[in-house]
């Protein structure tokens, strides 16, 4: 039986681990390899690492860093940042990464999704949708380049299209909620969840285990991802890598799925 997943998301800038708020003001919080080692000990379900510089700087992925991360990881690893060709996707998978996340390049060239899926299998191709509200009507729109470039795409329509193109998973990230630690945008999740049957991971806004529980209660088998929740501790946001124990996680899932 498939179970929900709890997934730390690590942001990398200049090879350091950072955390942002609203995709802005990156704060250095440590070494990503050290974070991976700690998450290994905590037996996390899966790990997502995103290089937030690569696309903005129009450069290739940092293959050395990716290889080092993959060598350290004892859990499935998803990498994103600067990936623009199926050859790059294949190279990253060959380094020991299980999934490759596409964002700006997929928006610019949707056929990349199909080509990458043909090369490495759809299960290894993830499409990230960074979404924020725009205009007087506060409609949802997909953005790229660290939230600085509007795509004109509606996330519901885009989710349907990426499924048709052969993606294996969607990561739905709320730019408005990023780093706020006030809970997920469940309205956004609901709209996109109804549009696709693909596995989905939700990111942006989790501030407590209660937020993860609320997401699982409403949507069942889903990926609950977070950044701040797993790198900060307490109201003063002291840097402390953390993750729920196996017993805490089992209890969270049991409560959520019982009350679904």
Q: Active site residue: 51, 130, 176, 185, which one?
A: 130
C-alpha closest to that of 100 among 118, 122, 133? 122
Instruction: Report how far apart, in Å, the C-alpha atoms of 164 and of each of 161, 190, 197 are.
Output: 5, 20, 11
CA torsion through residues 121, 65, 31, 96, sign: positive
Beta strands in 14-92 (DSSP E): 16-21, 24-30, 47-51, 77-80
Determine phi and psi for 187, rounding to 5 degrees.
Answer: -65, -45
Element (H, E) at 119: helix 111-120
CA neighbor of 4 nearest in space, from 223, 245, 244, 249? 223
CA pair distance 94, 67, nearest whole angstrom: 9
How is residue 240 annotated by DSSP?
Answer: -
Determine contact, residues 166/158, Cβ cutoff 8 Å.
no
Active site residue 130: yes
Active site residues: 130
């Amino acid at each position: 039986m498939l179970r929900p997943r709890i997934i730390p998301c690590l942001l990398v800038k200049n090879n350091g681990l950072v955390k942002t708020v609203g995709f802005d003001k990156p704060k250095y919080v440590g070494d990503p390899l050290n974070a991976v080692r700690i998450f290994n000990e905590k037996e996390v379900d899966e790990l997502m690492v995103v290089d937030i510089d690569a696309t903005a700087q129009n450069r290739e992925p940092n293959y050395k860093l990716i290889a080092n991360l993959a060598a350290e990881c004892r859990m499935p690893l998803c990498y994103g940042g600067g990936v623009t060709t199926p050859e790059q996707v294949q190279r990253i998978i060959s380094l020991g990464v299980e999934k490759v996340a596409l964002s700006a390049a997929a928006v610019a060239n949707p056929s990349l999704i199909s080509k990458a899926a043909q090369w490495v299998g759809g299960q290894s191709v993830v499409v990230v949708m960074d979404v924020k509200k725009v205009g007087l009507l506060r409609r949802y729109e997909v953005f790229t380049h660290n939230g600085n470039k509007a795509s004109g795409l509606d996330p519901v329509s885009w989710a349907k299209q990426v499924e048709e193109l052969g993606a294996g998973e969607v990561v739905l990230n709320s730019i408005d909620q990023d780093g706020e630690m006030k809970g997920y945008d469940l309205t956004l999740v609901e709209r996109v969840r109804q549009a696709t049957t693909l596995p989905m991971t939700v990111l942006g806004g989790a501030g407590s285990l209660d937020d993860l529980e609320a997401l699982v209660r409403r949507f069942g088998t889903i990926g609950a991802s977070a950044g701040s929740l797993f790198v900060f501790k307490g109201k003063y946001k002291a840097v402390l890598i953390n993750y729920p124990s196996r017993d805490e996680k089992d209890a969270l899932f049991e409560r959520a799925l019982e009350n679904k």
